[in-house]
A and B are shown apart, each in its own frame.
Chain A
Amino acid sequence: MNYDICIIGSGAGAGPIAFELAKFGKRVVVLEKGSYYKRGDFSKDEIAYTRRSIVTPNLKDEYHVIEENLDGQWISTPTNISLWDFWNGNIVGGASNFMSGFFHRLKPFDLKLRSTFGDIDGANISDWPIEWEELLPFYEKVDKIIGVTTTTKEHPISKLFDKTANKMGINSCITPRAILSENKGKRDGCYYSNYCGSYGCSSGAKGSSREALLNPAIDTGNLTILPNSFVYKLDSDKYNIKKALYVDKTTGLKKEIKADIFVVASQAVESCRLLLNSFNNFHPNGLGNSYNQLGKNLLFSGGGVVSGEFYGSNDLPLEKLLVEGLFVNRSLKDWYKIDKKRKGGVIEVLFEHANPIRKANINKYSDDGRLLWGDELYKKLKFKFYKSKRLNFEIFNDWLPNDNCFVSIDKKYKDVYGVPVAKIRVGSHPQNEIVGNYLAKKSYNFLQKMGAKEINVDISPYPPQNLQAGGCRFGNDPRSSVLDKNCRSWDIQNLFVTDGSFMPTGGSVPYTYTIYANSFRVAEYIKTFM
Chain B
Amino acid sequence: MKRREFLAIATLLLYKPLSAKTNIRSIDIIQSAIEHMLPGVNLREYFFTIPYDKYFDKNDAVDLDKGAKELFLNNKNFLLLDDKEKERALREFEDSENGRYWLSLLLNYGLEAMLGDPIYGGNKDKKGWKLLHHHPGRPRPKMKYGKNG
Contacts from A to B (Cβ < 8 Å): 35, 37, 41-49, 51-55, 60, 193-195, 199, 202, 324, 354, 356-357, 360-361, 364, 370-371, 373-374, 377-378, 381-382, 385-386
Contacts and interface: CB of A to CB of B under 8 A. Distances in A.
B43 interface: no
Report, nearest first, the 8 A-B pairs whose CB atoms are least far apart. A44-B137, A195-B137, A373-B37, A45-B141, A385-B132, A43-B141, A52-B55, A356-B115
A195 to B, nearest CB: 4
B74 interface: no
Given A44-B139, A378-B131, A357 B116 contact: yes
Contact of A386 (B39, B104, B108, B132): B132
B129 to A, nearest CB: 7
B145 A193 contact: no
Given A60-B3, A202-B139, A361-B108, A53 B55 contact: yes
Nearest to A200: B146
A258 B43 CA distance: 52
Contacts, number: 110
Contacts of A370: 94
Given A45-B145, A202-B138, A202-B139, 4 more contacts: A41-B147, A47-B117, A47-B144, A371-B100
A35 B147 contact: yes
Interface residues of B, number: 43
A45 B141 CA distance: 6
A61 B144 CA distance: 21
A47 B120 contact: yes
Contacts of B64: none
B89 interface: no
Interface in B100-149: 100, 103-104, 107-108, 111-112, 114-117, 119-120, 128-129, 131-142, 144-149
Contacts of B100: 371
A385 B133 contact: yes
B36 interface: yes
Contact of B117 (A46, A193, A199, A364): A46
Contacts of A44: 136-141
A46 B138 CA distance: 11
B51 to A, nearest CB: 16
Contacts of B108: 361
B81 interface: no
B132 A37 contact: no
Given A43-B142, A373-B38, A360 B147 contact: no
Nearest to A369: B100
B113 to A, nearest CB: 9
B48 to A, nearest CB: 15
A360 B41 CA distance: 14
28 contacts: A37-B147, A42-B139, A43-B141, A44-B136, A45-B146, A47-B144, A48-B149, A54-B148, A55-B146, A193-B137, A194-B137, A202-B139, A324-B135, A356-B134, A357-B111, A357-B112, A357-B116, A361-B107, A361-B111, A370-B94, A371-B103, A373-B38, A373-B103, A377-B37, A377-B38, A382-B131, A382-B132, A386-B133
B107 A54 contact: no
Nearest to B137: A44
A54 B128 CA distance: 24
Contacts of A43: 137, 139-142, 146
Contacts of A55: 146
Contacts of B38: 373-374, 377
- The interface centre, meaning the residue of B56, B131, B139, B146 with most chain A CB atoms within 10 A of its CB, is B146
Contacts of A194: 135, 137
A396 B127 CA distance: 39
A37 B36 CA distance: 41
Contacts of B120: 47
A37 B137 contact: no
A136 B118 CA distance: 48
Given A194-B137, A356-B115, A360-B111, A41 B104 contact: no
A381 B140 CA distance: 23
Contacts of B144: 47-48
Nearest to A41: B147
A361 B141 CA distance: 22
B101 to A, nearest CB: 10
Interface in B11-40: 36-39
B71 to A, nearest CB: 14
A364 B132 contact: no
B137 to A, nearest CB: 3
B47 to A, nearest CB: 14
A51 B112 contact: yes
A46 B116 contact: yes
A184 B135 CA distance: 28
Nearest to B142: A43
B111 A54 contact: no
Contacts of B146: 37, 41-43, 45, 48-49, 54-55
Contacts of A361: 107-108, 111
Contacts of B55: 52-54
Contact of B114 (A360, A371, A374): A360
Nearest to B58: A60
A37 B148 CA distance: 10
